[in-house]
């Protein structure tokens, strides 16, 4: 329940915080039941809207529907794939680098890190939904070899994120062309993509975490069994850890595009990933994110009130991820214009 944040990571059901005896602030996120949303239960839909206008971040219980249980099984298959994939020599992974924000491999250090002057400490492999649907020859060989697994994971992620979109349209009282689904139509060009992230143990202080940001797109479906993710909590007015709940849950967050498309009624949550046990990443960390994004030609107002297309916002924000912290701090882009709403500037480190 939202309210006072828990200042301890002790919870027998879930993994303990990696530093023994350390008291940490945990974000008080609500849990929404996917099975109830699929049934369009009115109370659950109201609870969903509540979470999206206050925190923009919540747990989704996946144990109460066939689709949820299947994606939990697929998640384990993807984690096995990721351990093998990222374990390959750097040169082999670089063969999948397509210099793209939406497809293929991205090496460590492409973007700024969580502390001033540092670079990021994570590598990713991206599989766009469009290429998966058209069975593109450009997909990485390892993905082609596991086609059924990737197809299942992406189509279930799409079903779940679209269920959330429809429920939010209902809750916001949107009708006809104003409904959020109308900006996410099948067959339209979009940057919707699956991103597999690996944070390796770091040998250097120059590469740290995943810098503070709000997500670019509409809805993010995120799986991680390990500590490291923090959200900027309006309850504590500070960073709070998201307690990993590997048994049966994903976390969901609202991205900039959905916030803008909702006339800024929804809250796009500021978050980052830091090494949980001090200054450096000590163990391999894996996470999986499905980024539902609007049609590239969808138009909305950015934080400065300027009309932009979803494609422009996407491409501009990715360029900003690579800028030095001084440039990032001058622009509302990285944080989706949320800092004035949060009432203060969130310091990088």
Ligand X SMILES: O=C(O)CCC(=O)C(=O)O
Question: Toward Fe ion, which CB reaches closer, 140 or 228?
Answer: 228
Q: Shortest gap between Cβ of 229 and ligand X (angstroms)?
A: 4
| 287 binding ligand X? (CB under 6 A) | yes
List the one residue out of 92, 87, 95, 118 whose CA is nearest residue 201: 87
Give me the residue label for tokens 């303990």: 16
Neighbour count for residue 206 (Cβ, 10 Å): 13
Do the Cβ atoms of 255 and 219 come closer than 8 Å?
yes
Q: Contacts for 132-137 with beta carbons within 8 Å, 24 or more apart?
A: 132/194
**x-or-dash string of contact with Fe ion, 253-282, rule CB under 5 A:** ------------------------------
Q: Total residues at the site for Fe ion (CB under 5 A)?
A: 1
3-class SS of residue 43: helix
| 215 binding Fe ion? (CB under 5 A) | yes
| 82 binding ligand X? (CB under 6 A) | no
Note the helical H segments in 226-338: 256-261, 310-321, 325-330
Single residue of 78, 219, 229, 254 touching ligand X by CB under 6 A: 229
List the one residue out of 81, 6, 19 whose CA is nearest residue 227: 19
Give me the residue label for tokens 């450009």: 138
Cross-strand bridge partners of residue 42: none
Cross-strand bridge partners of residue 300: 308
Show the tokens assigned to 18: 């990696």
| 274 binding ligand X? (CB under 6 A) | no
List the one residue out of 289, 269, 292, 265 whose CA is nearest residue 183: 292
Q: Shortest gap between Cβ of 164 and Fe ion (angstroms)?
A: 16
Question: Toward ligand X, which CB reaches closer, 259 or 271?
Answer: 271
Residue 273 binding result from ligand X, Fe ion, none, given CB thresholds of 5 to 8 Å by partner type: ligand X
Determine the interface stretch with ligand X among 12-20, 33-41, 72-80, 222-230 (rule: CB under 6 A).
222-230
**x-or-dash string of contact with ligand X, 155-194, rule CB under 6 A:** ----------------------------------------
| 197 binding ligand X? (CB under 6 A) | yes
Give me the residue label for tokens 């990737």: 150
Q: Shortest gap between Cβ of 167 and ligand X (angstroms)?
A: 22
Determine the interface stretch with ligand X among 20-28, 98-106, 221-229, 231-239 (rule: CB under 6 A).
221-229
> Distance between CA 153 and CA 72 in Å, rounded?
9
> Distance between CA 277 and CA 262 in Å, rounded?
38
Question: Toward ligand X, which CB reaches closer, 195 or 338?
Answer: 195
Q: Shortest gap between Cβ of 160 and ligand X (angstroms)?
A: 17
Q: Shortest gap between Cβ of 286 and Fe ion (angstroms)?
A: 15
Question: Toward ligand X, which CB reaches closer, 86 or 171?
Answer: 86
Neighbour count for residue 85 (Cβ, 10 Å): 21
**What one-character DSSP code corresponds to residue 267?**
P
Question: Toward ligand X, which CB reaches closer, 112 or 224?
Answer: 224
Residue 219 binding result from Fe ion, ligand X, none, given CB thresholds of 5 to 8 Å by partner type: none
Cross-strand bridge partners of residue 125: 105, 196
Residue 302 binding result from ligand X, Fe ion, none, given CB thresholds of 5 to 8 Å by partner type: none
**What one-character DSSP code corresponds to residue 180?**
G
**What one-character DSSP code corresponds to residue 271?**
E
Residue 197 binding result from ligand X, Fe ion, none, given CB thresholds of 5 to 8 Å by partner type: ligand X
Strands 104-106, 285-292: parallel, antiparallel or unpaired by DSSP?
Answer: unpaired
Q: Shortest gap between Cβ of 340 and ligand X (angstroms)?
A: 21
Determine the interface stretch with Fe ion among 16-24, 66-74, 163-171, 207-215 (rule: CB under 5 A).
207-215
Task: Give residues in contact with Fe ion (CB under 5 A).
Answer: 215
Task: Give residues in contact with ligand X (CB under 6 A).
Answer: 195, 197, 210, 215, 222, 224, 229, 271, 273, 287, 289
């Amino acid at each position: 329940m939202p309210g006072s944040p828990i200042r301890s990571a002790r919870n027998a059901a879930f993994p303990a915080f990696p530093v023994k005896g350390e008291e940490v602030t945990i974000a008080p996120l609500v849990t929404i039941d996917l099975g109830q949303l699929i049934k369009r239960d009115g109370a659950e839909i109201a609870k969903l809207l509540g979470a999206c206008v206050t925190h923009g971040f919540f747990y989704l219980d996946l144990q109460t529907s066939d689709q949820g249980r299947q994606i939990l099984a697929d998640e384990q298959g993807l984690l096995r794939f990721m351990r093998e994939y990222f374990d390959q020599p750097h040169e082999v992974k670089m063969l999948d680098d397509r210099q793209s924000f939406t497809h293929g491999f991205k090496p460590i250090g492409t973007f700024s890190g969580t502390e001033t002057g540092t670079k990021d400490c994570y590598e990713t492999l991206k599989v766009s939904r469009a290429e998966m649907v058209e069975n593109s020859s450009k997909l990485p060989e390892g993905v082609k070899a596991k086609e059924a697994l990737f197809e299942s994971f992406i189509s279930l992620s799409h079903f779940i994120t679209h269920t959330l979109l429809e429920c939010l349209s209902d809750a916001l009282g949107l009708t006809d062309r104003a409904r959020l689904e109308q900006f996410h139509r099948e067959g339209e060009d979009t940057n919707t993509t699956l991103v597999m992230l690996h944070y390796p143990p770091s040998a250097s202080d120059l590469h740290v975490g995943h810098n503070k940001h709000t997500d670019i797109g509409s809805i993010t479906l995120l799986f991680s069994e390990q500590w490291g993710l923090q959200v900027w909590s309006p309850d504590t007015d500070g960073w709070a850890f998201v307690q990993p709940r590997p048994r049966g849950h994903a976390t969901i967050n609202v991205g900039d595009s959905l916030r803008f498309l909702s006339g800024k009624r929804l809250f796009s949550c500021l978050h980052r990933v830091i090494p949980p046990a001090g200054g450096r990443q000590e163990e391999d960390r894996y996470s999986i994110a499905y980024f539902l994004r609007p049609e590239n030609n969808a138009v909305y107002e950015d934080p400065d009130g300027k009309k932009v297309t979803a494609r422009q916002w996407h491409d501009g924000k990715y360029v900003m991820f690579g800028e030095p912290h001084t440039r990032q701090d001058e622009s509302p882009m990285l944080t989706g214009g949320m800092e004035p709403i949060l009432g203060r500037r969130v310091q990088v480190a």
